[in-house]
Each structure stands twice: as structure tokens, then as C-alpha cells.
């Protein structure tokens, strides 16, 4: 049984808690969030601020971590600030997800209930593949990407670092979604999207740049 500590205790954290409980090989051992002012070594669940990572590692044998933050940029900031090694992060896949044996999935990534990952898909680190999302064959998905519920990527798509594909959006084959761009919910992407923009509609059109 693998002990897991999650960093983040908001809505996304609730879903990851249930993902952990749905698996037979993981147990929730700690929840770290800066809403906790002090570290509490409870009987079954440790809680505390994110800076309590050293205490968690000392008290819980072989603990692994996952960042339970839905915002892509905040998730990246935390991954850098926590100063953990790649090997310290667990990849969590819901038992009901369908994952090709040829898919490669990075550390810290979570794949939610009903998601489908097809042949030769490459998914980076600390991604969220949300409920019922589909990544068809040969997709290349960068670090810190979020595919929202029911988002559908057809074959041969590149989704670059930090991009967010909204709920129910669909993307035709051989498209690139630029880094840190947002595709709005329900959009149909038929042309590549540049870096750092918001695109919405059917077909999706760029409506604004994202300030960084």
C-alpha cells in the first residue's frame, strides 16, 4: 500500500482524495494546504501547511506526493517551490480510466474516472486529465496541461506546456495548442492556437492574449 500526501485542499483536492480511495494500492496519509496554520500529526491523517513536507517525509514511510491544484500556473509554481525530486511524485490513474499500454505518463499527473488515453500518447508531468477526457493516438501533451471533463483530442495533436482545454472542447487532428493558452468550454478547434491566448467558439477563434 502506497502512502500518498496531497498538496492542496480545494475542490480538485476532493476529487483526488476520492481517486486515491478508489485504488486498492494507495491510501491518503496527509493533506498539506496553507489554510492549515500548524502541523497536526493525527492518528489516520496528517494535516498542515505546505512547508510541513519535511515533517511528512520524516513521519510517513515511503510517502509520495501529488499537487492537487487545478490552476496550471499555480501547480507549476508549487512543483518548483516544493523542491522535491521527480521520484517523490506519484502518478494517479483512476481504475475506470482506459490507458493504452504504449502510452507514457509523467510524474505527478492525475487521470480521472472514465478518461481514455490511446496508443502512443505522451503526457508530461503534473497534468490533469479530467473526468471522461479523451486523448487519441499520438498526442503529445506537455507538462502542467489540463484537459477538462469531456475534452476530446483527435489524433496527432500537440498540447504544449500549461495549456488548458476547456470542458467539452474538441480538437481536430494535427493541431497544436500553444503553451499557456486556454481553449474555452465547448469550442471546436480546427486551426492551431498560438501561445498565450484565449480561444473560444465554433470554430475557435482567438479573442484575447493572456497577461503573464
Domains of the chain: 2-88 (3.40.50.20), 92-206 (2.160.10.10)
Catalytic-labelled residue, pool 12, 94, 126, 137: 137
Contact 91, 33 (CB under 8 A): no
The per-residue pLDDT for 44 is 78
Cell numbers at residue 112, please? 480521472
Q: How much is the pLDDT for 207?
A: 96
Does 123 have pLDDT greater than 70?
Answer: yes
List pLDDT tens digits, range 52-80.
Answer: 998 899 898 899 999 999 999 999 999 99
Could you read off the pLDDT of 143-194 as tens digits, one per residue?
999 999 999 999 999 999 999 999 999 999 999 999 999 999 999 999 999 9
Residue with cell 487519441: 136
Collapse the DSSP code of 149 into the 3-class scheme (helix H, G, I; strand E, B; otherwise coil) and give the result: coil
pTM higher than 0.85, yes or no? Answer: yes
Task: Establish whether 137 is a catalytic residue.
Answer: yes
- Bridge pairing between strands 98-99 and 40-41: unpaired
Amino acid at each position: 500500500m502506497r502512502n500518498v500526501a496531497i498538496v492542496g485542499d480545494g475542490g480538485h483536492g476532493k476529487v483526488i482524495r476520492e481517486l486515491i480511495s478508489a485504488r486498492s494500492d494507495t491510501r491518503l496519509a496527509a493533506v498539506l494546504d496553507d489554510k492549515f496554520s500548524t502541523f497536526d500529526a493525527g492518528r489516520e491523517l496528517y494535516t498542515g501547511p505546505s512547508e510541513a513536507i519535511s515533517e511528512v517525509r520524516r513521519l510517513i514511510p515511503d510517502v509520495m506526493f501529488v499537487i492537487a491544484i487545478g490552476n496550471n500556473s499555480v501547480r507549476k509554481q508549487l512543483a518548483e517551490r516544493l523542491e522535491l525530486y521527480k521520484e517523490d511524485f506519484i502518478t494517479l490513474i483512476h481504475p475506470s480510466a482506459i490507458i493504452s499500454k504504449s502510452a507514457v505518463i509523467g510524474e505527478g499527473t492525475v487521470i480521472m474516472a472514465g478518461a481514455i488515453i490511446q496508443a502512443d500518447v505522451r503526457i508530461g508531468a503534473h497534468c490533469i486529465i479530467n473526468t471522461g477526457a479523451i486523448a487519441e493516438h499520438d498526442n503529445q501533451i506537455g507538462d502542467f496541461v489540463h484537459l477538462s471533463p469531456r475534452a476530446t483530442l483527435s489524433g496527432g495533436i500537440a498540447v504544449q506546456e500549461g495549456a488548458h482545454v476547456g470542458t467539452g472542447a474538441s480538437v481536430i487532428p494535427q493541431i497544436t495548442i500553444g503553451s499557456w493558452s486556454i481553449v474555452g468550454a465547448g469550442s471546436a478547434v480546427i486551426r492551431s492556437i498560438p501561445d498565450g491566448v484565449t480561444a473560444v467558439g465554433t470554430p475557435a477563434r482567438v479573442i484575447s492574449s493572456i497577461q503573464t
